[in-house]
Structure 1
């Protein structure tokens, strides 16, 4: 039994979700037990308790931005590391119980992220509808046969093959190029080797609420040539005006410019959470000018050592 727990992978279920599609991209997970969970908290609890070796979690989408539930959970659960990221193209269908037509739909069950990605279509075609939040879009579709809470559900394409529903409309997403970014989270502290196409994720709290504090934080990256692909504020919750920042920086902690930026951040703020360095899903090499090469940083340290010695 313990061996099974140690090799299981958790994902937001039930079967058929985009999260499961992301987990299918993980080579190491093939042939291992997969554990469907109901929410991010349960997935993280699986990892912390050892029930699963890792969990696949949605962290950002190209339409609605960062997934706040994941970002807040990462900030509150110490000892977790992101060891990989995966991209899944996202599209949706609107489904209902057999016999339902679009004009019958007054309430729509959907995961909040999916609902946001279909908002324009819904407002155009169902201007007076109500939204019932669901833990996942597959769960929303499954619930149609179990209760009358909603008249229709937003679900992934192909859902009609697994549940007794009819498709009322296809391709209802507002952006046909929508993509959701998922991360694989584990307790391991081993760093994936740097590839030249890497990303480093952090959570940083401003030390105090004052003019220029955010600029000082950003300068730790800018003065070292480190580009940020994501920066999003989240309230800490202990007082008004107190925020933490979820940051994705281009590069690996083994890159001198990134390591030096982290040292600057740690001097600037006592609350810096390192979430991991891992290969980018798109495998695009990180571009930066030659004055930020590793040799420039190591050469500067050697120069200083010479002065001191």
Structure 2
């Protein structure tokens, strides 16, 4: 009698929970994560520790918001935790709803629970519709709504992502209460160190680079490594290293792939320039926009220049 085939191993993905968060919505965009194990965690360091210590195959974390800028907790963690690689990025529109215990009316709301970042992005709507309300800070928007349902807080309503309505029975008091209808959060899927995937032509390379010292022109020297090779930077953010005043590292997203000759040449320049370069990965852009650059920065131009130099060194006759 033939033994039944063993079920295939399932992969585990950590994400900022509980269910219904924007992070869960980002993870839902990952085709290979569908039907796998989704493990909710409480914060970014816990998600990344799951990956490093082997409890999860990858973690979905927020890294940048179009309104509030970089997520500093994520940036600092990626700068200091070795053995990680970004393997994909995903964009999630930021929409907020106001929810309450079933039976609540909008005019009953006096105390609103929300994460401070979400609260700040809904101030105009709240001022117009609930001018006398008070704010109760929460660790997360989903947690604010769940604690309201459980009766562990005395909030009358909570600001939350729309996905929470798929998981909990709540009264929807208002939709799209965010002040910026174009707000977007960028998430990255982070795994353990692996070789970069093949270039797609619509790629991004993420790096963290320390300046060698606090002297005039240090930042310009770093930026020239990209500018002289025709590489556009879509993100440049500074973060203090923390060991002393005036010491900074820069979080960089550069258009292109490490397998591109111009990007590889730029990384060699950064390595010579900086005391510490952290390569976070080359991966497809979320918008799949093709990276364009002038012909003088094409791969074959770099290859021809190196071949020319080798010929000079070897003493070969010039054409």
What's the TM-score, normalizing by structure 2? 0.89
- Structure 1 unaligned regions, length at least 5: none
Aligned counterpart in structure 2 of residue 293 of structure 1, from 258, 278, 298? 298
Aligned counterpart in structure 2 of residue 61 of structure 1, from 65, 74, 99? 65
Whether 1:143 aligns to 2:147 is yes
Which residue of structure 1 lines up, in the alignment, with residue 3 of structure 2?
A: none
Aligned Cα root-mean-square deviation (Å): 2.1
Cα shift at 1:216: 1.1
Which residue of structure 2 lines up, in the alignment, with residue 167 of structure 1?
A: 172
Instruction: Report the more deviating stretch, 53-62 or 231-240.
Output: 231-240
Which residue of structure 1 lines up, in the alignment, with residue 52 of structure 2?
A: 48
Aligned counterpart in structure 1 of residue 272 of structure 2, from 267, 272, 279? 267
Q: How does 1:91-130 map to 2 (within 5 A)?
A: 91-127=95-131, 129-130=133-134
2:10–2:37 contact (8 Å) kept in structure 1: no
Matches of 2:136 and 2:312 in 1, distance apart? 67
Matches of 1:293 and 1:308 in 2, distance apart? 24
Matches of 1:161 and 1:33 in 2, distance apart? 19
Which residue of structure 1 lines up, in the alignment, with residue 4 of structure 2?
A: none
Aligned counterpart in structure 1 of residue 223 of structure 2, from 203, 218, 228? 218
Instruction: Report the more deviating stretch, 212-221 or 288-297.
Output: 212-221
- Structure 2 unaligned regions, length at least 5: 1-6, 315-319
Matches of 2:140 and 2:8 in 1, distance apart? 26
Cα shift at 1:145: 2.1
2:10–2:36 contact (8 Å) kept in structure 1: no
Matches of 1:148 and 1:296 in 2, distance apart? 64
> How big is each residue's C-alpha offset from its partner over 1:200-234, in whole Å with a ceiling of 9 and x where there is no partner?
00111111112211111111111110000011111
Structure showing greater Rg: 2
Query: How many residues end up aligned between the 2 structures?
Result: 307
Matches of 1:99 and 1:284 in 2, distance apart? 46
Cα shift at 1:295: 0.7
Matches of 2:147 and 2:140 in 1, distance apart? 11
Distance 1:235 1:159, change over 3 A: same
> How big is each residue's C-alpha offset from its partner over 1:30-66, in whole Å with a ceiling of 9 and x where there is no partner?
2211101111011001101100000011111222111
> Alignment partner of 1:145: what SS?
helix
Distance 1:66 1:5, change over 3 A: farther
Whether 1:206 aligns to 2:211 is yes
Aligned counterpart in structure 2 of residue 73 of structure 1, from 77, 101, 112? 77
Matches of 1:302 and 1:224 in 2, distance apart? 18
Whether 1:189 aligns to 2:189 is no
> Alignment partner of 1:245: what SS?
strand
Cα shift at 1:168: 2.5
What's the TM-score, normalizing by structure 1? 0.92
Whether 1:176 aligns to 2:181 is yes
Distance 1:120 1:68, change over 3 A: farther
Distance 1:204 1:167, change over 3 A: same
Cα shift at 1:8: 0.6
Cα shift at 1:255: 0.5
Matches of 2:9 and 2:140 in 1, distance apart? 24
Distance 1:148 1:203, change over 3 A: same
Whether 1:281 aligns to 2:311 is no
Which residue of structure 2 lines up, in the alignment, with residue 243 of structure 1?
A: 248
2:19–2:164 contact (8 Å) kept in structure 1: no
Matches of 1:105 and 1:229 in 2, distance apart? 41
